[in-house]
Structure 1
Amino acid sequence: MKKIRMLSLVMMVILLGGCVMGQGPVSEKYTGNKIPNTRAFQDEFTREFIESPKEVQEGYYRFKSRTGGYSMLFPKEAMVSDVGYEKNGDFFETLSFGEQVKAENLSFYYKMTFEDRTKTNDIDINLTLLSEYAGYEGEYESFEHEGKTYYYAKDTSTEDEVTYYSFFSYIKPKNSDKALSFFVDSTCTKQSQECNLKPDELEEKFLSIMKSVNFSE
């Protein structure tokens, strides 16, 4: 688990600690549209996942997987890492992204793995894999939302005097081989400063993003 936590911190530093990348070439799908001054659009790699520069909800764009398999809300101040990004055809994609809320001294590290193959139907195995990644030994609750089953859990841990609130879910649509493994860690950006970590508010935020996931037909 410590290895994952260190990776989370390193990735958040890489994604959020430095200057935002330059605009770079603008994709044809944004021609004629003003590029917003947000982390998601000012980073060339990230904006290729964003459907439109128009916010679909306050503070969020619409993210679309390069597999075409799913879409979801994406924080406008988040950046997708090109390090570790992997895609195999239209049936597999894994990526991570970081988000920073400077006013509250908060940083979030997200990890998504999408699959579209029969192995996604073995829920027990996939929950075991998610638990191993999260370092979680508890049970999952399940609930239905808009034709999808969510196997959901949350956890709190402290390592090297750093507190993390984690929220994760295995999201499975009915009558489909598609699935999404969704994991997010939240912690203080600067450990030496006061941090506004409110578990209930964090859970509401992340559940909202999870519930925004839509799988293509």
Structure 2
Amino acid sequence: MTGNEKVEKEKVVGSAPETRALQDEFTKEFLTSGEEVQEGYYQFKSKTDGFTMLFPKDGKVSSASYERNENLYESFSFGENKEDENLAFYYMVTYEDRPITNDVDANLSLLSSYANYEGDYEEFEENGHTFYYAEDVYEVDGDKAYNYFTYIKSNNSDQAVRFFARSSCKDFAEECSPEQDSIKDKFLMMMKSVSFLE
């Protein structure tokens, strides 16, 4: 790490608030600043330098799940808990920058397989990206979890992201009444915040 990089990294952690994202050393490496860019969110920058997105202040990237192949591929998961609402959020993000991303059907098949989903996708364009979006209810032993997922394809390059998010009760033994509309809005906002660095 150069002197300038060290100074910049110190700016990130300087007198930062004690949020879960900033307290975790691995997660902190992805954050461009210790300042929230939007209430409750920091800016996340991938180590491939391929994209940025909003990252929740209570989120934590799993170092065990992290994979990277030069600047062509990057995959990781992260979790976020809302203790006061008994809610747990799980995310899986996979980035690629290679011609295979142009095979939309193959990538949707991968996403559907991961989400255990057999339905169709809604297609729309926004900010130079094409989104293929779907949502589903997932049940285990009568308990419900809600899945939201999308394939985000750059219209100008071979870059793409598969983004999966799940909301569920943190403790199914306790009451949990998530407002699905607000959670869907949250996840859509995060998905749409993906911006490719082309």
Structure 2 Cα separation of the partners of residues 39 and 28 of structure 1: 22
State the Cα deviation string for residues 77-103 of structure 1 (Å, max 9, x = none): 000000121000001000000001111
Alignment correspondent of 1:121: 102
State the Cα deviation string for residues 186-208 of structure 1 (Å, max 9, x = none): 10001111112222111100000
Alignment match of 1:112 (pick from 86, 93, 114): 93
Structure 2 Cα separation of the partners of residues 73 and 193 of structure 1: 30
Alignment correspondent of 1:215: 196
Alignment correspondent of 2:73: 92
Structure 1 residue ranges (4+ consecutive) displaced by more than 4 angstroms after TM superposition: none
Alignment correspondent of 1:60: 41
SS at match of 1:200: helix
User: Which amino acid in the other structure matches residue 102 of structure 2?
Assistant: N
SS at match of 2:171: coil
Alignment correspondent of 1:151: 132
Report if aligned partners of 1:63, 1:71 keep a CA contact under 8 Å in 2.
yes
| Match runs of 1:78-89 below 5 Å | 78-89=59-70
SS at match of 1:67: coil
Alignment correspondent of 2:10: 31
Alignment match of 2:175 (pick from 184, 189, 194): 194
Alignment correspondent of 2:25: 44
Alignment correspondent of 2:3: none
Report if aligned partners of 1:49, 1:64 keep a CA contact under 8 Å in 2.
yes
Report if aligned partners of 1:35, 1:42 keep a CA contact under 8 Å in 2.
no
- What's the RMSD between the two structures over aligned residues? 1.0
Deviation at 1:28, TM superposition (A): 4.0
Structure 1 Cα separation of the partners of residues 107 and 28 of structure 2: 30
Q: Give the TM-score normalised by the residue count of structure 2.
A: 0.94
Report if aligned partners of 1:162, 1:191 keep a CA contact under 8 Å in 2.
yes
Structure 1: any 5+ residue segments left out of the alignment?
Answer: 1-26
Deviation at 1:162, TM superposition (A): 2.2
| Paired residues, number | 191
Structure 2 Cα separation of the partners of residues 138 and 68 of structure 1: 33
Report if aligned partners of 2:54, 2:193 keep a CA contact under 8 Å in 1.
yes
Structure 2 Cα separation of the partners of residues 109 and 142 of structure 1: 23
Asked if 1:160 corresponds to 2:150, the answer is: no
Q: Give the TM-score normalised by the residue count of structure 1.
A: 0.86
Alignment correspondent of 2:158: 177
State the Cα deviation string for residues 74-128 of structure 1 (Å, max 9, x = none): 0000000001210000010000000011111100000000000000000001000
Report if aligned partners of 2:128, 2:156 keep a CA contact under 8 Å in 1.
no
Structure 2 Cα separation of the partners of residues 28 and 164 of structure 1: 42
Deviation at 1:36, TM superposition (A): 2.0
User: Which amino acid in the other structure matches residue 29 of structure 1?
Assistant: E
User: Which amino acid in the other structure matches residue 30 of structure 1?
Assistant: K
